[in-house]
């Protein structure tokens, strides 16, 4: 059995699973909507000393959901391009990423720079530089100032893009080997370093702790590979979906509310990935219907814009410059945040998204893909 699984895992990928032939997976917008609401409400709840609210609205968990979605989607798009064209155009990939991420990310930094000039927010060029170079996840920059602190997650994704797509293009078998290897060895190395006094503040510890921050994106990528390889136990997931989703969600929330469990965040990423993939197929259950309601979907479409701009509207009174922002009070901050994000997306970002389409991946050409169940998947052999 293990030999068979090993053989299938390292076999070449030649077919696109039917579900992934579609260019749009609607449930993912629902997950994006949940993610950004966790971030926004989580930051706002930090103003209120309530353990209950902070348990249910954890911004860190919201970011990890984004990470898993990103790793899954990017790997899926690259594998589809590899199957359809025989190769991966890194040039087009980086142009697409640039047009999606950079325009509004840099617009925000320009706005922060201007507001600092007029409102004296005490934002340093050092922090703006760290954010602009996508180095905010490094200890020298990490959370030095509130206004650019959220760029730590963007930095992780950009650094992932610089390394891993190239590995996937050059050697798929090696990519399939290195991803699970990192997911297993890195958290173990971090735990060992923390237990050994001589290593707790060593260069070795900081190196592995740096790698640990990529666990969410790598987990999403790993599950994309499993999807293509037909190694996801769809029968089990379908049969126990509701209990599995609720149970794993409670575990994930517990992990992200216990800072002592940082080294096993990769477990929460693994559980998040299971919840996500279990809701990709159309279903009649209440979880799928909730993820696919129109309001949550529209919030999901605006999620990246909301994430970029929310740092201006969700700061706490512990920040010395909070009183200088006229839109600070609740619920004015929420209203203005959504207005700014809506305008940003529809009247600025969409221009660049239009340019991005010129460099899109070759699309699947064949009969329309109908709504299917896991057992009907062609090209994916469900593992019972």
Per-residue pLDDT of the chain (384 residues; tens, 9 = 90+): 788 888 899 999 999 999 999 888 999 999 999 999 999 988 877 666 666 666 777 888 999 999 999 999 999 999 999 999 999 999 999 999 999 999 999 999 999 999 988 888 888 899 999 999 999 998 787 667 889 999 999 999 999 999 999 999 999 999 999 999 999 999 999 889 988 888 888 889 889 989 999 999 999 999 999 999 999 999 999 999 999 999 999 999 888 776 666 656 678 899 999 999 999 999 999 999 999 999 999 999 999 999 999 998 887 655 656 566 777 777 888 899 999 999 999 999 999 999 998 888 766 555 544 544 444 333 333 333
Query: What pLDDT does 380 receive?
Result: 34
Q: What gap in Å lies between CA 17 and CA 373, rounded to an integer?
A: 12
Residue 191 contacts by C-beta under 8 Å, 6 or more apart in sequence?
A: 263
Q: What gap in Å lies between CA 182 and CA 190, rounded to an integer?
A: 12
Q: Which sequence spans correspond to the domains of the chain?
A: 2-376
Query: What pLDDT does 373 receive?
Result: 46
Query: What pLDDT does 173 receive?
Result: 95
Query: What pLDDT does 203 receive?
Result: 87
Query: What pLDDT does 325 receive?
Result: 72
Query: What pLDDT does 378 receive?
Result: 31
Phi, psi (degrees; rounded to nearest 5) at 382: -60, 140
Query: What pLDDT does 247 receive?
Result: 96
Query: What pLDDT does 315 receive?
Result: 73
| Cα dist from 348 to 22, 218, 344, whole Å | 27, 31, 5
DSSP tag of 138: S
Phi, psi (degrees; rounded to nearest 5) at 371: -65, 130
Q: What gap in Å lies between CA 137 and CA 177, rounded to an integer?
A: 26
| 325: helix, strand or coil | coil
Q: Are 38 and 62 in contact (CB under 8 A)?
A: yes
Q: What gap in Å lies between CA 109 and CA 134, rounded to an integer?
A: 12
Q: Are 34 and 65 in contact (CB under 8 A)?
A: yes
Residue (of 323, 364, 365, 276) closest to 80 by Cα position: 364
Residue (of 104, 19, 68, 29) closest to 345 by Cα position: 104
The pTM (predicted TM-score) of the whole model is: 0.90
**Structure tokens, 318:** 């512990």
Whether residue 343 has a cis bond before it, omega within 30° of 0: no
Residue 58 backbone zone (phi > 0: left; psi -120 to 50: alpha; other: beta): beta
CA angle 35, 41, 43 (to 5 degrees): 100
């Amino acid at each position: 059995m293990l030999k068979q699984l090993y053989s299938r895992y390292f076999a070449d990928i030649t077919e696109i699973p039917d579900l992934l032939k579609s260019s749009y997976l609607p449930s993912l917008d629902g997950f994006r909507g949940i993610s950004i609401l966790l971030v926004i409400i989580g930051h706002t709840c930090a103003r209120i000393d309530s353990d209950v609210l902070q348990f249910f609205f954890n911004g860190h968990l919201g970011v990890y959901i984004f990470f898993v979605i990103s790793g899954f989607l990017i790997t899926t798009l690259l594998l589809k391009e590899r199957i359809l064209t025989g190769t991966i155009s890194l040039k087009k990939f980086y142009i697409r990423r640039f047009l999606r991420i950079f325009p509004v990310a840099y617009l925000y930094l320009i706005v922060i720079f201007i507001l600092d000039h007029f409102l004296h927010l005490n934002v340093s060029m050092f922090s703006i530089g760290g954010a602009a170079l996508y180095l905010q996840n490094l200890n020298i920059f990490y959370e030095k100032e509130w206004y650019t602190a959220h760029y730590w997650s963007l930095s992780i994704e950009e650094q992932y893009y610089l390394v891993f797509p190239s590995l996937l293009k050059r050697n798929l078998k090696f990519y399939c080997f290195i991803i699970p290897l990192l997911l297993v060895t890195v958290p173990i190395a971090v735990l060992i370093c923390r237990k050994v006094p001589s290593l707790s503040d060593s260069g070795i510890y900081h190196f592995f702790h740096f790698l640990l921050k990529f666990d969410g994106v790598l987990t999403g990528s790993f599950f994309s590979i499993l999807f293509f390889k037909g190694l996801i136990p769809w029968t089990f997931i379908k049969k126990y979906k509701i209990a599995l989703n609720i149970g794993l969600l409670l575990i994930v929330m517990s992990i992200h509310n216990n800072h002592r469990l940082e080294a096993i965040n990769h477990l929460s990423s693994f559980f998040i990935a299971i919840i996500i993939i279990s809701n990709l197929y159309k279903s009649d259950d209440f979880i799928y219907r909730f993820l696919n309601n129109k309001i949550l979907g529209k919030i999901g479409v605006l999620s990246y814009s909301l994430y970029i701009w929310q740092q201006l509207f969700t700061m706490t009174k512990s920040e010395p410059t909070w009183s200088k922002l006229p839109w600070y009070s609740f619920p004015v901050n929420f209203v203005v945040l959504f207005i700014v994000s809506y305008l940003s997306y529809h009247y600025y970002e969409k221009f660049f998204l239009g340019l991005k389409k010129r460099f899109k991946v070759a699309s699947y050409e064949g009969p329309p893909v109908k709504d299917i169940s896991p057992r009907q998947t062609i090209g994916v052999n469900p593992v019972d």
